[in-house]
Copies of this chain bind each other. A is one copy, B any other.
């Protein structure tokens, strides 16, 4: 028979078992942490009706959509988890209680140009808090606090959550009479890191007809950096000139205050006036998160406050605050940078039992006992040489191998080899279970991410 060469599409992550175990562990930390903060898990379809999904989209997004017909239906794959959330909340509005806090970890699809580290199918891990009409500013501090907790639990240390407020930016541009041009200006300012202040000024003046004085004002404004206290103090100098600005500054002060109360250390967050988030969507606090040792990666976790989650579906004002981790890309980067802890278990099992007798009853009984104790156990009953079975355990990094022969069965003991130390014990089953559990607890101690 002619064979089809198996292949996986480019831009689609498909992990081998060991890295997949690391990915699963990360997802578990996300689920657990999000749950601790009172977020409920949600799962929405990958496919939506195109008219529903694209009610808002346009431009670049629309080009990337996986859109197709099936029968009479015009269908699209979701390209983020926010639009499905908006649909969900509008559709189930009467059955939900607000504030509605949900997390969702799911695959989304964007037909981007394939390139290294860019994915067409990727996981996003989102949290959002949706209010009915109103939503307290406290949520805008709690959201980044949750991200801090999540990343810390994963073991990440050198990261910084950058915080800004769109009202400050919009208020500032209003002071200069640049409200109409604010979008263009912010997009230009966003390039500051890449092209430098001179180039930014040139573009502002030449491409967008910003007065030279105003351009200088803008550069001066975004040059406000330093510790959070310093930045907040410098911003006070602009107070009283624009109502929106003042509101934004008060909000930012509140968010910074509560971020501390939530236990986020000063070194893990920074007020950064260059953060705007491209989308028009955000109306208040905005966040980006960078890995301090890998700024070239850009933001690995972004979000903010928005006033109308579901304006394309309902007249009800549904303000919210949310943030999204680009999980697949983050995982890829962590792997590339050697930041995934290789010492955490990636084996499919904790124990491999090698029965040495024809009658397997004793081996099965022991496997059952280990499993009842929460020990992941595999019976190896294949017709293979002893050496091949040991090498199997070795390759898969299964930490313990148990040999069960006639002698051991008759003596009521278990021969157990610690594959790391080579040490072999012959103990009663209960003592073996105890020893294995202690060893596994020790091995599970590290965090998923190094540094």
Interface residues of A (CB under 8 A from B): 1, 3-9, 12-17, 20-21, 23-24, 35-49, 51-52, 55, 66, 68-71, 73, 75, 86-88, 90-92, 95-97, 99, 101-102, 107, 109, 111, 121, 131, 134-136, 138-139, 142, 258, 261-263, 310-315, 347-349, 352, 360-361, 364-365, 368, 371, 374-383, 392, 395-396
Q: A371-B37, A381-B136, A382-B131 are in contact. Are A101 and B348 (CB under 8 A)?
A: yes
Shortest CB distance A15–B (Å): 7
A95 to B6, CA, bound (A): 15
Instruction: Name which of A14, A109, A111, A131 has the most chain B CB atoms within 10 A of its CB.
Output: A14
B121 near A381: Cβ-Cβ < 8 Å: no
Q: A139 to B348, alpha carbons, bound, how many Å?
A: 16
State which of B15, B37, B55, B121 has its C-beta within 8 Å of the C-beta of A4. B55
Measured CB to CB, the closest approach of chain B to A387, in angstroms, equals 14
* A42 and B71 contact, CB distance less than 8 A: no
Kindly report how many copies of this chain are found in the complex they form together. 2
Structural contact, A15 and B43, CB atoms closer than 8 A: yes
Complex Cα distance, B134 from A14, in Å, reads 26
Closest to A120 in B: B47
Can you report 13 residue pairs joining A to B where beta carbons are below 8 Å apart?
A4-B313, A8-B44, A9-B47, A13-B45, A20-B42, A36-B375, A38-B348, A40-B347, A46-B107, A135-B382, A138-B381, A139-B381, A261-B360
Task: Provide the bound-state CA to CA distance between A246 and B376, in Å.
Answer: 35
User: Per a CB cutoff under 8 Å, which of B8, B40, B109 touches A91?
Assistant: B8
Give the residues in chain B near A138, CB-CB below 8 Å.
360, 379, 381
Do the beta carbons of A383 and B136 come within 8 Å of each other? Answer: yes
